[in-house]
Structure 1
Amino acid sequence: MAVPGQDPHPAFPPPPPLPRGRRCRGAERGGGRPDSMSQAPRGRTGPCQGGRMLRAGCRAALPRRPPGSAPLSGVGGERGAETGEGGLKRTPLDALHRSRGGRMVPFAGWSLPLHYGQGHLQSHLHTRRRCSLFDVSHMPQTRVYGRDRVRFVESLVVGDIAELKPGQGTLTLLTNERGGIVDDLIVTNALEDHLYVVSNAGCADKDLAILRGRAAELRAAGGDVHLEVSDNALLALQGPSMARVLQAGLSDDLAKLSFMNSITTTVFGVPDCRVTRCGYTGEDGVEISVPAGRAVELAERLLGVPEVWPAGLAARDSLRLEAGLCLYGNDIDETTTPVEAGLLWTLGKRRRVAMDFPGAAIIMAQVKEKPKRKRVGLTSVGPPIRPHTAILGPEGMPVGTVTSGCPSPSLGKNIAMGYVEAAHSRAGTALTVEVRKKQHPALVTKMPFVPTQYYMAK
């Protein structure tokens, strides 16, 4: 069993620094604004609502289907996916996960690996020190075509999609008329003739209903837009060894690909792959959209490299929390505004002036008047902090609630995020958390808890 601070694979040499580039501090999907760039991303993926204990004390959300929504059928351009026991959908890598000892669990209506034989702790640390491969094929990938595609997407989200250069992407928020966050998305200006959108699996049905409804309205008014839901698999290769591993299978120079930019290329002999430099771990990484029929071939090529381990939901959850990234349904939802969540940077400057996105009046009023509550990071001693744990102020009165929490494998202490009254949100503020009817000291802490390693080419 590996322990924090001890490399479980001393035989592997330390990965060399990437050439001709610099690291970009900041956050990705659902996180804080990167210091040196205007665009940031998915996690990328998260689900809606619920929770289940994971090995080593971490939680991953198990989403509920939004009320009134129907499951995707794979008909009429929707995603087609094989189903197994309990009606759970299976990704193209399902057999590979099982053959490698993946412990399969339900997640957002899919059967996905929680962890593999090496366990959660070692998998987490291996990703921080080497490289891991995650199957994120449960996340919907949608292509938006038509001359009005930018206007269409901007009518639903807060970001400035029109300013994206070819191949550039951004994290943006789908909002409702109350200013709440319906979902967090990555939108990329594809090099071809469309926008490429990656969204959260637990929100797939409600997102698609919103997209289709708005597209129908726009077409009825003479607009030109149509949607295509992709059946591609999606693989996330994450960790400091990623660039060296992937470059061996690319003719393109990966050192020229910056964080949140993408290319369409051949990867280890598999053509028509979209490689986007992003992820949900805080490490340098890529997400590879690959034709479903070639996904196993590509995954096996990557896993054939000794430094690359398969990783599951448990490691993904603790990695994203260390990086300060939000999980949809836990840390952000339809009752949370971008201002409260610390995601104000996702609002494009032009969009703030135009106020032409859903919930703009409420969101911009919060910008001016300041929110009553804020998302914060917490560190503590004692038992692990779980979602729904009460946060108490100096006088013992409730001032907030934990939304995500786990013991940090990298830091060897408990970390969490949650919402507190604005008066108690300053970093360094001493609070307490109530675990099993006992109070334990907690400290408001800046996020990310672990420095992020997003890569920017020179």
Structure 2
Amino acid sequence: MSDTPVSAALLTTPLNALHIELGARMVPFAGYSMPVQYPAGLMAEHHHTRTAAGLFDVSHMGQLRLVGPEAAAAFESLMPVDVIDLAVGKQRYGLLLNEAGGIMDDLMFVRRADDIFVVVNGACKVADIAHIQARIGARCQVIPMPEMALLALQGPQAVTALSRLAPGVEKLVFMTGGHFVVNTGTLSIPVFLTRSGYTGEDGFEISVHHAQADALARALLAQPEVKPIGLGARNSLRLEAGLCLHGNDIDASTSPVEANLLWAIQKVRRAGGARAGGFPGADNILAAIASPASLSRVRVGLVALERIPVREHVRLEDLQGNAIGEVSSGLLGPTVDRPIAMGYVAPAFAALGTRVNAIVRGKPVPMEVAPMPFNPTHYFRG
């Protein structure tokens, strides 16, 4: 059973009973009772995902469909991203912006034959769906999918385990998806899945009806490669992969430019592109792209030069003791075996190799600006 009392007001996912059965320690997260770790512990779960396959319950996240002939153009009006030209079966990372160009949420979406399938972050989903409905609901149907659960199977052996139950998934490449049937031996479970994830490893995210989520999870956990993984290892895996966590590394006050997410803004949406601008905060963002010197801060990777973990909200200083920024995420990376972090610094301190100090309990910990990802990614590109 859980060793953390969880308020009765918290929502639960369709796998709640399974988590408790597996001995998970449950914690409040995004309004849900979620497993932070299982008896093996965070380190073992992290390493298992890097070497074999880990199963994550991410059913707290929001799923929705955009339907209608104007859906792509309408959705594109909310983000600095190319939606219109995305081919059927392809997935893309998107940034939902406010009027100042701040990141309300980051999300994933897939162009399907009859809709656009969107996955948003759990903590933001109510506000996201309301925002999307208010802004483009007159141009397309915005259909929330609360009946769907979401599982992530991640790691180098994920494809081996899943293709045993759903032959054909091995033909997908990174950031593509399709409809499949998972055969458990007693059940045939229809799913929509993409070859993607939040760990830096090969893997899949699987959308399944909540009534069949438990059966699907048990079938996957019955595979010899697969073990259950909690939120703790999900966080350490994504940080080693250099992936942002909304609410920590990006939020409604952060622009994509200072967050170093320009790779997510296709050329067609930038100045001079065929569909430049036309998204919330476009003037601010296009001006910042044109004049990076105007930025007051920028997201960087950091490694500590001493074996002292540096956590979020820790102050960053230059070598003379002047404040230059703040850590947004940080921990001891289990795979890289050293303290790593992301943070925001003044642009003058953003060059690779720059030395800075993190102030931990009043004492300076030397850190160096480092490239991300901290651990090489292993996405399957064919």
Q: What does residue 298 of structure 2 align with?
A: 374
Q: What does residue 26 of structure 1 align with?
A: none
Query: Could you tell me the TM-score, scaled by structure 1's length?
Result: 0.78
Residue 453 in structure 1 maps to residue 378 in structure 2: yes
Q: Measured at CA, do residues 444 and 226 of structure 1 come closer, stay the same or move farther in structure 2, by a change above 3 Å?
A: closer
Alignment check: 8 A CA contact 1:146 1:226 kept: no
Structure ranking higher on relative contact order (CA contacts 8 Å, 6+ apart): 1
Residue 154 in structure 1 maps to residue 69 in structure 2: no
Q: Measured at CA, do residues 224 and 326 of structure 1 come closer, stay the same or move farther in structure 2, by a change above 3 Å?
A: closer
Count of residues paired in the alignment: 367
Deviation at 1:224, TM superposition (A): 4.2
Residue 165 in structure 1 maps to residue 87 in structure 2: yes
Q: What does residue 176 of structure 2 align with?
A: 261
Where does 1:336-415 land on structure 2 (aligned, <5 Å)? Answer: 336-352=254-270, 353=273, 354-370=276-292, 371-380=295-304, 381-415=306-340
Residue 131 in structure 1 maps to residue 46 in structure 2: no
CA distance in structure 2 between the partners assigned to 1:348 and 1:307 by the alignment = 37
The structure 2 residue matched to 1:289, chosen from 207, 227, 236, is 207
Kindly provide the CA deviation profile for residues 80-130 of structure 1, in whole angstroms up to 9, marking residues without a partner as x: xxxx84311111100000000011110000011010000111111111111
Q: What does residue 204 of structure 1 align with?
A: 125
Residue 227 in structure 1 maps to residue 151 in structure 2: no
Alignment check: 8 A CA contact 1:283 1:452 kept: yes
Deviation at 1:210, TM superposition (A): 0.5
CA distance in structure 1 between the partners assigned to 2:228 and 2:171 by the alignment = 27
The structure 2 residue matched to 1:251, chosen from 167, 170, 184, is 167
Deviation at 1:300, TM superposition (A): 0.5
Q: Give every structure 1 segment of 4 or more consecutive aligned residues whose post-TM-superposition deviation is greater than 2 Å.
A: 223-230, 268-272
Where does 1:7-22 land on structure 2 (aligned, <5 Å)? Answer: none
Partner of 1:426, secondary structure, is coil
Bigger mean CA offset, 342-351 vs 413-422 = 342-351
Query: Could you tell me the TM-score, scaled by structure 2's length?
Result: 0.94
CA distance in structure 1 between the partners assigned to 2:357 and 2:45 by the alignment = 31
CA distance in structure 2 between the partners assigned to 1:214 and 1:167 by the alignment = 25
CA distance in structure 2 between the partners assigned to 1:96 and 1:262 by the alignment = 27
What do you get for the CA RMSD once the two structures are aligned?
Answer: 1.2
Q: What does residue 52 of structure 1 align with?
A: none
The structure 1 residue matched to 2:135, chosen from 198, 214, 228, is 214
Q: What is the one-letter code of the residue matched to 1:264? A: H
CA distance in structure 2 between the partners assigned to 1:226 and 1:338 by the alignment = 25
Deviation at 1:212, TM superposition (A): 1.3
Alignment check: 8 A CA contact 2:189 2:216 kept: no
Q: What does residue 37 of structure 1 align with?
A: none
Deviation at 1:331, TM superposition (A): 0.2
Kindly provide the CA deviation profile for residues 430-455 of structure 1, in whole angstroms up to 9, marking residues without a partner as x: 11111000011101010000000111
Q: What does residue 361 of structure 2 align with?
A: 436
Residue 273 in structure 1 maps to residue 191 in structure 2: yes
Q: What is the one-letter code of the residue matched to 2:194? A: T
Residue 116 in structure 1 maps to residue 41 in structure 2: no
Q: What does residue 3 of structure 2 align with?
A: none
